Chains A and B, each alone.
Chain A
Amino acid sequence: MFLINCPYCGERDQQEFKAGGEAHIERPKQPTELSDDQWAEYLFMRKNIKGVQFERWNHAHGCRKWFNMARDTSNDEIKAIYKMGEKPPPQ
């Protein structure tokens, strides 16, 4: 059970949060101009790596705000937490 430092509320137990999948996948601005393959890339393809992964999290039972997390999937160490729209920190 993680202890997650919500950028708006501070440290809270994991059960207040919902994981929202891989971060930094931007919805295409002009979807109609994309090929099926390009659209499928956005829609379906997600990374599942051993190591530092960038994820979206939502403080669902708190402030309801979304934010990003860099988490090492091999030991669940949370490397960084940063707000939506901010760039991921250098490794």
Chain B
Amino acid sequence: MTKNLRVKSSEFIDETSRISFKFDGKTYYGFKGDTLASALLASNVHLIGRSFKYHRPRGIMTSGSEEPNAIVQVNPNSNITEPNARATEIEIYEGLEATSQNCWPSVNFDIGGINNFLAPFLPAGFYYKTFMWPKSFWKKYEFFIRHSAGLGKSPTKRDPDIYDHRNIHCDVLVVGAGISGILAAKNAAKNNYKTLLIDEKNELGGSTIFETNENKKINNTFSSEWLKKEISEVKNIKNLEIKTRTSVAAYHQYNYLLARENLTDHLEKKDKKNKIRQRLLKIRAKKVILATGALERPLVFNNNDRPGIMLSSAVKKYIDFYGVACGKKNIFFTNNDSAYESALSLHNKGIKVDAIIDIRENSNAKIIKKVNEAGIKIYWSHTIVDTSGYKRLSDISIMKLSNDGMSVIGSKTSISCDCLGIAGGWTPAVHLYTQSGNKLTFDEDRNIFVPKADNSEQICVGSCSGDFELDEIIKNLSNKLKNFLNISQTDFEDISLENDKETSKRNIWLLPSDKPTGKTKPFVDYQNDATAKDIKLALREGFRSIEHVKRYTTTGMGTDQGKLGNMHALGIIADTAGVKMGELGTTTFRPPYTPLTFGTIVGRNVGEFFDTFRRTPMNDWHIKNKAEFENVGQWKRAWYYPINDETMHQAVQRESKAARKSAGILDASTLGKIDIQGSDASEFLNRVYTNAWSKLAIGKCRYGLMLNEDGMVFDDGVTTRLGENHYIMTTTTGGASNVLSKLEDYLQTEWPELDVYLTSVTDHFATASLCGPNSKKILNKIIPELDLSDENFPHMSFKEVTVDKIKCRIMRISFTGEQSYEINAPASFGEAVWEKCIEAGKEFDITPYGTETMHLLRAEKGFIIVGQDTDGTMTPIDLQMDWIVSKKKYDFIGKRSLYRSDTMKENRKQLVGLLTEDPNIVLEEGAQIVSELNQKPIEMLGHVTSSYFSPNLNKSIALAVVKDGKNMMGKKLFIPMENKNIGVTISNTIFYDEENKSINAKL
């Protein structure tokens, strides 16, 4: 296995820089310019991995991104490991390590290989059929199935690489830098279009760049030589940007494309450091030229998957581009002329080609003569009926095809070989074209799907549009460009062309064998081990839609997305079912064209940049004072402030007591604040809140409830009238942006006649909420000049004051039931005002409290939290808040819905209080509530929405929604838990200070 098959120095390979790498633990050598595949082939290594289902040995099939077999784990057991990488795309670098996938203990001896012999028992749909019974066994089956499934291993550690995103706008985007793409980009850029040219390979020029076919000449030189000159010109055009190693992943509407630019994967490890590995290009192009080329098709015959069986075009690229022969005894199997070019490429470099098996009866192309002159034997009208060689192809058996191509006749001939190039014709790479939303049409004559029509924003050129002959490509390209770019001429329309025309065609989707189909393994999808037999089985079992057959047989569902075999699957379905391929349609081509890393998709948005955090102006103080934080929407809010080793429960109990006994302080800066101005501001509030606002005096505050048009509670908060036409509305922390959007929506679309202006001022103010019986004394210390008497500054009113030259708005409002002042300071002075309160409160043991204590205190008072005690199905009536719904107002958002038969139903869930029989048991939020324990099925009456242990009442309290709860006061119900049933009694929702004495409490 160490024979060197490097035959001739190639200009694309730098033989002066030798590179060592490891494959499956063994060290190999290659050169700069090699891919992992070409370097391994040069060392005569064909066996790369095992197939997914049968664990059959598999080798390198292609030389590009369509590779189904040679997929490897790169840099295994490291934090930069990557599974399912295509050996045909990995550029080797010093220190590269790769291993085979889907084999154990090794690729040479794989235990799973037994599946190959069990194959008769593993037909399509095997898993569906076998593991469905007995039903209870599924969990056991699943364990084993999952264990044996999957190809590569995903990394388990954090990805250390850097990824990036970039937006690009261009006039013309050209995808694919083959001969068509190069000429298109050049002519676009030279005509003043800002142009971007993208190709997935590291070299420009596609397959023409190594073309030395004497029958394909441009201006009397090899097409490759001519193209090289064009490329050197193209590289120097100013408004043309060229990106290689860049693969377009997705083509969305309005010419929006996503591409992955690979920046460091080909570099040595030391050169990768601190560089961006991959970049996602988000491209918006005015015009797109698709020059994505064509993919060669394999042929589907018995045992067509052995290592050593490759696409004919790949054999040609390995010899002409990489200078590597894929075998010492080569045979080609073809249905068209392109295999003859590959054969001559080998022959011209002194590599033996023993035979060409051609299913056609003859061909008049000039190249046939050359092949004959080279002494290569051609078997016309023959097909391969079987191959042998387990880990490497050793022999093929051929027989003569019948006239109808349905069977084989005559005697069997065996030929030994170690490499078989197969050529089944070409499939235009229309993946991106269809992703953009455009339709394909089937060309019956050539058995290909081609783009239906070009338009003014997009054209397909070259072989992806179905032009395979050089003269057609050049002529059509020139005409299309003139029209598309609105130019009078192209700079290549007068070149002289020589070109061998293909004249003879014969296509057989499933080639016959001397054995019945059931006894053969003609692979259609190599990676997923789907054979023609599986497809026929699916049809016998009644599947007709191509999308269903695909899923049942898993054809085209591998990481390669069936780039090679999908056409054969369609062909076999059409032939078997007796329908036309054009009528069958294709499966949907979905992005990405080739797999993307997660890193590329997320770019810089990882770790702390994953989502935006919002912090209040007092955040540093909270951190200094050891607060634990909780996420509320995007906000980081102080949750509780543990002292020493306090648990959350202990801290919350202490904070809650302090707030009611003396004084507490809460950072309420996160509440949404909307500034409302305009001569119709009062009328506007009347329309959006359920209660009346016209009579609210200036300097007064009012609590409001906002509904959706369907009558369900949407948000709540206190709004203060600052002036005749000026209000400030507060919203819930999480609802702020939704409330603003909704209010804007109504203003702009339903009530444009109202003179009202809305401005979000959430971030402009910091809010310190001072609460407790001593709050008034603390405030008095800070602002001695303000008269804090209940007469001058009563509950639900507002004062504008100056604290040390800081202009503050103080609202006397309460979410705890205690006497309470919300001090709103400009955000930049928030921390200063907060510290002033703390300082002034020291003598009263002022206790900072977090959101958890806030929730507890409000629950003691039965105040709801929208989103916790409501869930989008609760009306104010359900919340027993009838008092806030105005009966007098003609209309407000959601009013009509409160009188719908459904919202007026008696047995709706209603908000109630719950007291546990054992006052020490704290219920779980979300727990279900039932009335009968022995009933089956047990009826769920509702669930617990808020639950706490109240230190001020020394018992457990809870809020819940219960069916018809309003009429069940005092009724005993149960909460069934895993180990016990908890007895509860329905109560009033107000547990603490029902008479509201604390609001004006005087110590």
- A binding-site residues for B, Cβ under 8 Å: 1-3, 13, 18, 20, 26-28, 30-32, 34, 36, 39-40, 43, 56, 58, 60, 64-66, 75-76, 84-85
Contact = CB atoms under 8 A, between A and B. Distances in A.
B256 A85 contact: no
14 contacts: A1-B252, A1-B253, A3-B254, A3-B255, A3-B256, A13-B256, A13-B284, A27-B750, A31-B896, A32-B891, A32-B895, A32-B899, A39-B900, A75-B437
A2 B748 CA distance: 24
A44 to B, nearest CB: 8
Contact of B748 (A18, A27, A32, A65): A65
A16 B166 CA distance: 17
A1 B255 CA distance: 8
Given A3-B254, A27-B709, 18 more contacts: A2-B254, A30-B891, A31-B891, A32-B895, A36-B901, A39-B896, A39-B897, A39-B900, A43-B709, A43-B897, A58-B741, A60-B741, A65-B748, A66-B744, A66-B748, A66-B749, A76-B437, A84-B752
Nearest to B740: A64
A66 B745 contact: yes
Nearest to B752: A85
B121 interface: no
Nearest to B286: A3
A22 to B, nearest CB: 12
Max chain B C-beta neighbours (<10 A), residue from A43, A76, A84:
A43
A51 to B, nearest CB: 15
Given A1-B253, A43-B709, A76-B437, A64 B744 contact: yes
B252 A36 contact: no
Interface in B236-269: 252-256
A2 B284 CA distance: 10
B900 A40 contact: yes
B675 to A, nearest CB: 15
B471 interface: no
B354 interface: no
B256 A32 contact: no
Interface in B882-918: 890-891, 895-897, 899-901
B281 to A, nearest CB: 13
Contacts of B891: 30-32
A40 B897 CA distance: 9
B12 to A, nearest CB: 37
Contacts of B896: 28, 31-32, 34, 39
Interface string B658-699: 000000000000000000000000000000000000000000
B254 A20 contact: no
Interface string B712-748: 0000000000000000000000000000010011001
Contacts of A39: 896-897, 900
B895 A31 contact: yes
B794 to A, nearest CB: 36
B710 interface: yes
Nearest to B252: A1
Contacts of A28: 896
Contacts of B901: 36
B454 to A, nearest CB: 16
Nearest to A68: B749
A43 B900 CA distance: 11
Given A32-B896, A39-B897, A56 B254 contact: no
A32 B749 contact: no
A84 B741 contact: no
Interface in B80-111: none
B745 A32 contact: no
Contacts of B748: 65-66, 84
A1 B895 CA distance: 38
Which of B253, B710, B897: most chain A CB closer than 10 A? B253
B437 A58 contact: no
A80 to B, nearest CB: 15
B253 A76 contact: yes
Contacts of B741: 18, 58, 60
B710 A43 contact: yes
A36 B255 CA distance: 46
A64 B899 CA distance: 33
A56 B749 contact: yes
Interface in B611-658: none
A39 B900 CA distance: 9
B752 A32 contact: no
A64 B752 CA distance: 15
Interface string B433-445: 0000100000000
B253 A2 contact: yes
Contact of A1 (B254, B710, B890): B254
Contact of B284 (A3, A32, A36, A75): A3
A1 B710 CA distance: 32
A24 B943 CA distance: 40
A42 to B, nearest CB: 8
A7 B127 CA distance: 55
Contacts of B745: 20, 58, 66
